[in-house]
Structure 1
Amino acid sequence: MSLIGSINPLSASPLTRIETTQPKIAVGLSGAGKTAPTESFGQVLDEVVSTVQTKQDAAQDITRKVLLGETDQLHQGMIAMQEASVAFSMMVEVRNKLVESYQELMRMQV
């Protein structure tokens, strides 16, 4: 009999539920229990842009060090460049979705 066939799913111990330490807020239809956001939308976008800029600066710095022969960690430079590239691509896609959402709102008739 194969290993997969010998496993009994009913004999497996159930997973324990991990309780979070965050308080749960119940929001009804009246809106009671809502909390004010801690950051504005503009601040969140500023943080995202600064994070992407930091990743790009770090990738540029590591690449410069590799090219000047100060370090031989080429793999770290490639990883940093890929992280910066993925972060930038994600930021551009989020911007595209925001612009698309705004345009959709402007097309709605009131």
Structure 2
Amino acid sequence: MLPVSAASSLAARSLQFQPEVERVRSPGLEKAGGTPAAGGDFGSVFERMVNDVETRQADASEVTRSVLLGDNPNLHQSVLAMQEASLSFSLMVEVRNKVVESYQELMRMPV
């Protein structure tokens, strides 16, 4: 179980994706031509999510490395960073799985 500060930190970081998730859930169109609203296409949202996960994993690796080398005595900071990276990765995989599942469902629809 995570400490209260760790849980609140993870909750705060997961909220940063909430606006993107809402935009993807109900994408806005500027006009009838089908042009997506600025910053609202799924590709850019997913790209930002992948970049964020990559950054978190690199940061977690760096903090863990510094703990193992003895440069940083805060083991809990390393564990927290690893959990944040793991949670971010799990969220990204679940989003990907839902997108693939939705695509497959659309492809099964009769025309």
The equivalent of 1:52 in structure 2 is 53
Identity of aligned residues (%): 56
Measure, in 2, the Cα distance between the counterparts of 1:85 and 1:92.
Answer: 11
Structure with higher Rg: it is 1
The equivalent of 2:97 in structure 1 is 96
User: Root-mean-square deviation (CA), in Å?
Assistant: 1.1
Measure, in 2, the Cα distance between the counterparts of 1:99 and 1:38.
Answer: 24
Counting only pairs closer than 5 Å after superposition, residues 60-75 of structure 1 correspond to structure 2 as 60-75=61-76
Q: Does 1:84 align with 2:85?
A: yes
TM-score by length of 2: 0.66
Per-residue deviation, residues 41-71 of structure 1 (Å, max 9, x unmatched): 2111110000000000000000000000001
TM-score by length of 1: 0.67
Q: How many residues align?
A: 77
Query: Which runs of no fewer than 5 residues in structure 1 stay unpaired?
Result: 1-33
Question: How much has 1:104 moved relative to structure 2?
Answer: 0.2
Deviating above 6 A after TM superposition, structure 1's stretches of 4 or more consecutive aligned residues are: none
The equivalent of 2:38 in structure 1 is 38
Measure, in 2, the Cα distance between the counterparts of 1:54 and 1:87.
Answer: 10
